[in-house]
């Protein structure tokens, strides 16, 4: 199981990113600051995406896009739950009135 580390302060991450931008390698910064090179590469890549400049071959979602995606997924889940509740209520009321409900092909 990988070790977990409490989140690094934003100011520290920004300083490391700046050091990479001026020419230091993630490997040498890793040795100097006891942060894995992969973590440093992740920070640099995320910073580039957040600024709208993804690294070549590393296009991904910015922090704002990830937040919006999470919000939209929660909304979809909520709407699906509401749809399921309404479908059950419709079937229940139809059963009480003797009317056969029309099934939706979208569910």
Domain housing 43: 1-60
Q: Tell whether 54 and 84 lie within a shared domain.
A: no
Cα separation, 39 vs 29, in Å, equals: 11
Does pTM top 0.85 for this prediction? Answer: no
Q: How far is CA 35 from the centre of its chain?
A: 23
If you count DSSP H runs as helices and E runs as strands, how many of each does the chain have, helices first?
4, 0
Supply the pLDDT for residue 11.
Answer: 94
Residues 56 and 67 in one domain: no
CB contact at 8 A, 64 and 52 = no
Rounded Cα–Cα distance for residues 47 and 55 (Å): 10
10 Å Cβ neighbour count for 29? 19
Q: How far apart are CA 7 and CA 10, in angstroms?
A: 9
Do residues 12 and 50 share a domain? Answer: yes
Answer positive or negative: Cα dihedral of 66, 70, 75, 80: positive
23 and 56 in a single domain? The answer is yes
Instruction: Walk along the chain (107 residues) and give the pLDDT tens digit of each residue.
Output: 566 777 899 999 999 999 999 999 999 999 999 999 999 999 998 888 788 766 555 556 777 888 898 999 999 999 999 999 999 999 988 888 776 666 666 65
Q: What is the rounded CA–CA span in Å between residue 80 and residue 73? A: 11
Number of domains the chain is built from: 2
């Amino acid at each position: 199981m990988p070790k977990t580390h409490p989140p690094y302060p934003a100011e520290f991450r920004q300083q490391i990113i700046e050091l990479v931008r001026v020419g230091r390698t993630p490997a040498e910064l890793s040795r100097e600051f006891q942060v894995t090179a992969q973590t440093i590469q992740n920070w640099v890549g995320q910073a580039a995406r957040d600024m709208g400049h993804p690294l070549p071959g590393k296009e991904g979602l910015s922090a704002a896009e990830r937040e919006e995606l999470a919000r939209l997924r929660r909304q979809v889940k909520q709407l699906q739950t509401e749809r399921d509740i309404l479908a059950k209520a419709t079937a229940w009321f139809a059963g009480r009135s003797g009317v056969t409900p029309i099934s939706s092909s979208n569910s």
